[in-house]
Structures are given as C-alpha cells and as structure tokens.
Amino acid sequence: MNKIIKTLLSSKNVLLICHRDPDADTLCSSLALAELLKQKKIQTRIICKDAVPGNLSIFKGTAAVKTALPKGWKWDCAVAMEAGDAKRMGFNIKIDINIDHHFDNSRYGTLNLVDAASSALGSIILQLAQRAKLKLTPEIATYLYAAIFSDTGGLRFGNTKERTYADMYSLVRHGAIPDQIYHMLYEQVAPETLHNLGKALTTMKTIDKGRVIYSIVKSVTAETGHGIIDVLRTVRGAEIAILFKEMGPKNTKVSLRSKNAFNVEGIAKKFGGGGHKKAAGCELTLPVKAAVKKVLGEVMKALR
C-alpha cells in the first residue's frame, strides 16, 4: 500500500480503468480516487469499456467517464480498479497498479494490492486515503459509502464484516448520508428492469428438489438485468441461484449466487469467470440452451 501511495502521489497524470459491465463499486471507487488525487493537483481520467448504466448516472462525475482511451493525453500511471484479470478491463495496456478485493485476482500489475479481507474496493480506497492522510470530503465519503454498501448488498452479504461497519461509520462521520445514498442506488430503477424481473420470476425453474433455482432473460444490460439474481436467491429452500442472460445467438452471461458453503466461484472459473465463493459470474460463447445445460451439469456434478 505504501508503494502504491508513493507511486500515485508522484504521478502527474493517472488513468483509472473500471471493469466491464461496471457496478457501483468500480465506478464510485474510481470517482473517489480521482477526487482524492485532485487534492494533490494530479490529473485523472476514468475510462470503462462499457457505458455507465443509467441507474448509476445519478452520481456526480459519471458523465466524465469515457468508453475509449483518451486521445492526446498521456498518463504516467495506469490503475485497474477491481478487474480480476487483464481481460476484465477490455483495454490492452500496461497496468502499473492493480487494486482489487477478489481473492482470485491474477496479479497482472507492476504493483498489486489485492485484499480479499476487504468487503469492497471502496474499503481499500478508504484505507489508501487514510494512510496517505488525504481529506475525506462529503463527496468522496458519498462515493465510498455507495461503493461498499452496494457490493455488500446493503450490508446483507457474507462479505459484510466488522471492519465494514467501521468503514461505514467513518464515512457517515465525513458527510455520507445513508438514506440519500440508498435512494441513489436502489430507487432509480428503469421500467425495463422490472419487466425483466417479472419475466425471470414467471419462467424460473428448480432442480434437485428445489436446491437449485434458475431463470433465463434476454438481451439485458448492466442496468436492465440488475438485481434479478438477488431476488431469485431469496426463494425458500433454494441454496444456489443462477441467472442466464441471453446476449446473442452465441453469447450467454451467467450470474451465480450461493446461500450456503457451496463455492459458485469454482463453477464460474471452469468457464473462464470468477468472483467470490457466494457470488460469481462467467460468460460462455454458446447459445443459451447449451449454456444452461453445461452450467447446470457442472453444478450438479459439484453437488454430488
């Protein structure tokens, strides 16, 4: 962490790269780090291969996030923000600093700060700010609170720990307003998102006596498919929830969740994905029916 702080603060121009299909953790943590570096007169640019989802565009600063490398602007430090491997970024460039909280991160940066004990990337950025003695403004506190709150499912998931509450307390003390951030994160739902949720719930199926529940949705985006998997996992008796997202004739994205000790990250990894033990994802270059058969086959094999 000290080496990373020294590298960041000795830079003039820093490029911050969010992961593909951006969520609040990667976006808001990047916005927070950009504001922190601004205190030291360091210029930043934030890029993401995929556009900012509409439900997150309410956060100040997201309008400046671009989908392409900046032209005519040279950076002396490139930072990957929560990308488990280089492919997850979508940009083929040298990474000077790789910051993540996923234990399966491939450590592809010159400097790697991978802290699986942290509940979110936002928690790591908070630690960086505290150690570097940078000021936590209400704007920065809001970004980091949103990052941590969203990645813990509103403090409901297994990655919520004692330190998570200490972080949230600190951020509220520095100006984060919990009810406003909840509104920004969870009360900006597009009508299409609810339509897709309805379709997923009316077509969901169970196998293995209800232990595994799954559903299929078509052509959803990071916004219009948001939250569906977390509703599926609430069904009584379901230990594993899977959402198959048909993105094209031969492109299926898969989200997996577990409520017990079952390691869904192990399943995702078999198909080139990753994540956490209880929350993971992957992408298959297969039609949705074939993807369903393959993934469910691996799940049942693991259960046996």
Give residue for tokens 């210029």. Answer: 43
Confidence of residue 116 (pLDDT cuts 50, 70, 90): very high
SS3 state at 278:
coil
pLDDT digits (tens, 9 = 90+) for 55-77: 999 999 999 999 999 999 999 99
Contact predicate 280/264, CB 8 Å: yes
Q: Are residues 95 and 233 in the same domain?
A: no
Q: Are residues 30 and 170 in the same domain?
A: yes
The pLDDT of residue 140 is 98
Which helix (H) or strand (E) covers residue 191, if one does? Answer: helix 191-202
Tell me the one-letter amino acid at 114: V
Residue 158 reports pLDDT greater than 90: no
Q: What is the number of structural domains in the chain?
A: 2
Q: What is the DSSP string of 7-43?
A: HHHT-SEEEEEEPSS--HHHHHHHHHHHHHHHTTT-E
Residue 274 reports pLDDT greater than 90: no
The pLDDT of residue 69 is 97
The pLDDT of residue 219 is 86
Closest CA to 100 of 77, 78, 123: 123
CA distances from 84 to 45, 89, 275, 284 (A): 21, 9, 8, 17
Closest CA to 32 of 125, 96, 114, 124: 125
Domain end position, chosen among 127, 152, 186: 186
Q: Are residues 38 and 163 in the same domain?
A: yes
Domain end position, chosen among 151, 186, 221: 186
The single-letter DSSP state of residue 53 is P
Neighbours of 179 (CB within 10 A): 7
Contact predicate 15/81, CB 8 Å: no
Closest CA to 119 of 135, 106, 100: 100
The pLDDT of residue 104 is 87
The neighbouring-strand residues paired with 81 are: 18, 99
Sheet order of strands, 97-100 included: 43-47, 13-18, 77-81, 97-100, 111-114
Q: Are residues 159 and 265 in the same domain?
A: no
pLDDT digits (tens, 9 = 90+) for 181-195: 999 999 999 999 999
Confidence of residue 260 (pLDDT cuts 50, 70, 90): confident
The pLDDT of residue 226 is 87
Position with higher pLDDT, 261 vs 49: 49
Residue 7 reports pLDDT greater than 90: yes
Residue 28 reports pLDDT greater than 90: yes
The single-letter DSSP state of residue 92 is -
**Alpha helix positions (H), 115-189:** 121-131, 138-151, 162-173, 178-186
Domain end position, chosen among 186, 221, 255: 186
Closest CA to 275 of 100, 127, 86: 100
Contacts of 115 (CB under 8 A, 6+ apart): 100, 101, 124
Q: Are residues 208 and 110 in the same domain?
A: no
Give first-to-last CA distance, the chain, whole Å: 42
β-pair type (111-114, 97-100): parallel
Closest CA to 245 of 270, 275, 202, 215: 215
Which helix (H) or strand (E) covers residue 135, if one does? Answer: none
Sign of CA dihedral 78, 79, 83, 84: positive
Tokens of 271: 């198909």
The rounded mean pLDDT for the chain is 95
Q: Are residues 178 and 198 in the same domain?
A: no
pTM above 0.95, yes or no: no
CATH code assigned at 217: 3.10.310.30
Q: Are residues 151 and 246 in the same domain?
A: no
Contacts of 263 (CB under 8 A, 6+ apart): 277, 302
Q: Are residues 121 and 16 in the same domain?
A: yes
